[in-house]
Amino acid sequence: MERKVTLACGDGGELAHKLIQQVFVSAFQNQDASRFDSAFLSLESGKIAVTTDSFVVNPLFFPGGNIGKIAVAGTVNDLSVAGSIPLYLTAGFIIEEGFPLEDLRKIVRSLAEEASAAGVRIVAGDTKVVEKGGADGLYINTTGIGVQRAEHAIRPGEMQEGDDVIISGTVGDHGIAILAARGELGLMTDLQSDCTPLNHMIDKVLESGAHVRMMRDPTRGGVATTLVEIAEDFGAAIEISETALPIRNEVMGACDILGFDPLYLANEGKVILIVARNDRQRVLDVLRAFPEGRNAAVIGHITGMGEGRLLLETPLGSRRRLRRLSGMMLPRIC
């Protein structure tokens, strides 16, 4: 087989068949689904959860992961934080002509491994090849299907004054790891992206019986934007403390140099949980038992219901309002 993906690989003919068999089917090992034009899924009764996401990360490979891993983590986490159990994934690939086959194999293998680790099956897929210049290497879309939990569901309606805001680990690792991996800003760091599926950890938190009101994963827009959305969606006044935020020194250092605010950096393996104050310790204990939850911390609490807003308490004790990320973050001059 050619060492690069060619346009003919996407035309539905012999080469396309070969590509699918040798790269995708062999990695996914899910022969039953490949004999029909659609996959047939068994679902328990109850509500079905569906989410879809497209991944256009640059660079495709970065410390701590690659686009394949993130395509699983992103979609699995979206299902999981909504309080559903992720079961199936579909994966669509848009590949630029000339893409190295070896890289494609690595990405597909990684996607398959992460799906298997997360306990979800890849049940349908698609491949398209576009002309050179028509795409930047490779894009992936994944759609996730799960079932809503009957037991241990999240209860946003019970959100109330005094609830704690917990984050499952350090803030901004993915954002800075990606920036550094682009190599354009002269940043050198060993920092790894936090990209990982969180469903097993989240399952354990919910199964502990803790009262979890709400969960979201603070991806693009970061912790601040995610919390502003929660505050506005549920009319909650949220206050977080700057000194309570777990931030790695590398991330803080890079932010100081570039003029970024870690609260607005993307995360790909973190969950924010709003939990009843009485269950704070139980949730922290469960989270910290997982490597991806080792640095979990309480970062704030809900100070009242009614007007939705997010405040940050600075180390000096003053409070300022945090808002959505406004435009993109650009590095500063000096």
Q: Which residues of this protein are in contact with other proteins, per CB under 8 A? A: 170, 184-187, 243-249, 251-252, 258-259, 261, 295-297, 314-321, 323, 326-327, 330-334
CB closer to other proteins out of 78 and 292: 292
Helix (H, G, I), strand (E, B) or coil at 193: coil
CB closer to other proteins out of 105 and 280: 280
CB closer to other proteins out of 257 and 305: 257
Q: How far is the CB of 73 from other proteins (least distance, A)?
A: 23
Residue 93 near residue 127, CB atoms below 8 Å: yes
- For the chain, how big is the Rg over CA atoms in Å? 21
Q: How far is the CB of 183 from other proteins (least distance, A)?
A: 10
CB closer to other proteins out of 236 and 245: 245
CB closer to other proteins out of 31 and 326: 326
Rounded-to-integer distance, Cα 270 and Cα 273, Å: 10
CB closer to other proteins out of 104 and 187: 187
Q: How far is the CB of 244 from other proteins (least distance, A)?
A: 6
CB closer to other proteins out of 238 and 251: 251
